[in-house]
Each structure stands twice: as structure tokens, then as C-alpha cells.
Chain A
Amino acid sequence: MTEHIANQFYADSSITMVLYDELENSKEIRKCVMDGSVEASLLKPILILDKFQVIVAATRAIHNQRHKRMTTKTIHSEILFCLSPSKNISDSYRKFGLGDEDKCMLVVIVDDQDNSKLNAIQALIKGRQLPLSDLQAKADPSAIKTIYKIHDEELEVCPLLDAVVTRISSKETVTL
């Protein structure tokens, strides 16, 4: 149920994703991530249409890290920032990051070759793990359309995922 994806651009880099539901202690997990004791990006699944959306953002984030051009302080916060259409960091956290009351969460970990980061966070989590394929059912297309400012004119000619992906990949070059 845990998905490991090898980074296409850097052989020594990877992206790990795990989906959780029925979460009891999101506040606690969030606190640990914020103080740096565990490393991970905690995302709101409601805004994630497909794992490909996360892959595109993570590829961007890892690229920024390797070229020493990150906007935020850590690679895991950079993923959140890259995922968001906003250029405001705290705004991006608020929208895409896990909330204290959330019951559902997508964990994304970068460069976890020996599973130590994953094990550290899994020891904390009180919740039920779901297959990543359940992402689609958890996503809310209308919320995604609002956040990414996607209008129906565009959706007549392309799937919502393509519209989202283009916004993530073009973020640095296009001002919305």
C-alpha cells in the first residue's frame, strides 16, 4: 500500500507516498513535522486528484533542492509550496497542508532509501492505511477547480488532471 517511486532525474532520489484515513492524532503528527522531529510532507487528500499531481510537484521540488534554489527551508515544505498555485508560502501550507482536525492525510517523503523516515512517522500515526488508488475517491474536484482557478472553458478540451499539472509545472514561469 506504500508506494515508492524512483526519481526519473536523480538515481539516488525517490518519492514515497502513503494514504491514511480515520486519523485520530493529526494535531500531534503535524506538531512533530513542524518541529522537525519527523520529516515528511502532510497533504490534504481532498486537493489531490492523482499521485501524478504529487510526482510533478515533488520532481519540481527535488530539482529546486539539487540546484540550491528552494523557496522554502526544507524539501518537504518545498513540495507543499510547489503543489500550490500560490506564491505565498504560508498560504500554500494552509491550503494544501494537513489541518489539526483532519481525518484523512497523504504522507509524502522524499529520499527515504532505508525507510527510516517512513518508520519514524508510522510509529506516530494512529489511523488506517488505504491503498493509494483511493486518492481519486477522496479528491474533491470542485475544490480543486477553485484553488487552481480552473474554468469550464478549459475543461471542455482537457481532463482536470492535465489542467492541474500544467499549473504546477508552469508556476515559476507563468503568473496567474
Chain B
Amino acid sequence: MAENEKHKLKLIKQGAEAKLYRGDFYERPCIVKERFSKSYRHSALDRSLTAQRIKAEVRALFRCRLQGIIVPTVYFVDLDSSCIYMEDITDSCTVRDYIVQIQKENGDSAISQLKPLATKIGGIVGKMHANSILHGDLTTSNMLLRGSPLDLNIVMIDFGLSYFDSLAEDKGVDLYVLERALLSTHPNTEELFSTMMEAYKQANKKGAAEVISKLEEVRMRGRKRTMVG
């Protein structure tokens, strides 16, 4: 990013691959995702990997958008400083915070209240998989609820690990990550995951059966495949 730009941005998050800044893009609230270089990689390889990953992320955002899945609007892609400038989803909370809040406030009746949300999420993931988009990091923190949570306007974010693939195996792993993320962050949500899977089957009619049988397999062995022979 250009130097006169950097001081106006506020660092909000630092991950293993990228830094997130909050700022403005011509008066619109924006998020800047900067993939920093890794000094342990050869510089030529580092440049090429970083560029490839930024492009993959932009492509995934674009393909989701074509399917009517809400994602942030991309304002500017700067491959020279490895930054993506995109819409900041203001007036939103993460699905994670929302589930935590509902569970705290409502105890036993929380699950039935959260079912419409689970249905919506299952539908979105099903639609993505039906179009061969794999998110790669389906956690409840990577889903935002824009506006009133009751409107179920879910915005999918962070496509940094996403890829395109039509293999049922990989989709099974994607669902497994979602299941683990859900159950480990939110206790007693098994029923919500089954609700998600029902909606998933509706949205990904063709592939669902095969993906779900792969999911069973992945559950038995964990996310990584056994490499024997």
C-alpha cells in the first residue's frame, strides 16, 4: 500500500497470513487485507504464492456473488503491495457472537430459536458446494449477520483459504471443519448441525448424498487423510 495511505489505516487483526486494517476507500468504510511476505520463503516463490492467493480470494468472492451469496464488495486489488480493499460490513455481528448471546439469554429454548439461522447457513454452504466453491475455513466467526439478526442476512467473509474443487472428499472436509467449529465453540449444538445438513441437502441436491457419506468417513479419521501405500 502506498505510504501516504498507511497512516490512515488502523490495524484491527493480525493473522498468520495477513493483517487486517480498517479505513476508508473514497469515503466508504473499507477493510484492507494485506498479505505480508514471509522471510523464510525464497523471494520469488513468496511473490508468486502471495499473488496467487490474492487472486484466488478475489475469484472466490466473485463466484459467490454470482450465485447470490452475500460477500463484501471488492473495491481495489493491489498485487504490488499484496492488498485487497473491500467493503467493511458495518452494522453487523458475527454468527458466533449471536449464537453465544442467544444461548446465554434463552438456555433450553435457544436451539429452536437458532434453527432458522442454521437452515440459512446450511443452504448457503450447499449452494457454494453445488458450485464447486470450497470456503476452507467455515467457522461461525467467518459469517456475519448484517442489520437485524432476525433478517438472516448472512455475509460470508474470509475466503483466504478457499479453492475450487468438485471432489466430494474435499467438500466432506469443508463440512467437517464447520461441524468441529460449531460444536467446539458452541456446546450442545449437535441439533443445529443436523438442521444445517437438512438445508444443505436441499441446496446441493446432486452432490449431497456423496458428500455426507464422505463426511462420515472424515469424522472417523479426522481432517487429514491417511497416507498409506
Task: Using CB atoms and an 8 Å cutoff, list the residues of chain A in contact with chain B.
Answer: 5, 8-11, 52, 55-56, 59-60, 63, 67, 151, 153-154, 156-158, 162-163, 165-166, 169-170, 172-174
Q: B5 near A9 (CB under 8 angstroms)?
A: yes
- Indicate whether A173 sits within 8 Å of B25 (C-beta atoms), given known contacts A56-B76, A153-B66, A162-B73: no
> From DSSP, what is the main secondary structure of chain B's interface residues?
mixed
- Indicate whether A56 sits within 8 Å of B75 (C-beta atoms), given known contacts A153-B66, A174-B62: yes
Task: Using CB atoms and an 8 Å cutoff, list the residues of chain B in contact with chain A.
Answer: 1-2, 4-5, 24-26, 28, 54-55, 58-59, 61-62, 65-70, 73-80, 85, 87
Q: A154 near B58 (CB under 8 angstroms)?
A: no
Could you say which of B54, B67, B70, B77 contacts A169, with CB atoms under 8 Å apart? Answer: B77
Could you say which of B26, B62, B65 contacts A8, with CB atoms under 8 Å apart? Answer: B26
Q: A158 near B65 (CB under 8 angstroms)?
A: yes
Chain B residues, Cβ within 8 Å of A59: 26, 76
Q: A170 near B58 (CB under 8 angstroms)?
A: yes
Sample of 20 more A-B contacts, CB < 8 Å, known A169-B74, A170-B61, A172-B79: A8-B25, A9-B2, A10-B2, A59-B26, A63-B76, A67-B80, A157-B68, A157-B69, A158-B65, A158-B70, A162-B73, A163-B65, A165-B73, A165-B74, A165-B75, A166-B61, A166-B65, A170-B58, A170-B62, A173-B54
Chain B residues, Cβ within 8 Å of A163: 65
6 intermolecular pairs with C-beta atoms under 8 Å apart? A8-B25, A9-B1, A59-B26, A153-B67, A154-B65, A170-B62
In the complex, the chain A residue whose C-beta lies closest to that of B58 is A173
Closest 10 CB pairs of A and B: A162-B73, A153-B68, A173-B55, A9-B2, A173-B58, A169-B74, A157-B70, A174-B62, A170-B62, A11-B4
Task: Tell me the complex Cα distance, A151–B68, Å.
Answer: 9
Task: Tell me the complex Cα distance, A60–B25, Å.
Answer: 13
Q: How far is the CB of B142 from chain A (nearest CB, A)?
A: 17
Chain A residues, Cβ within 8 Å of B78: 63
Task: Tell me the complex Cα distance, A28–B160, Å.
Answer: 50
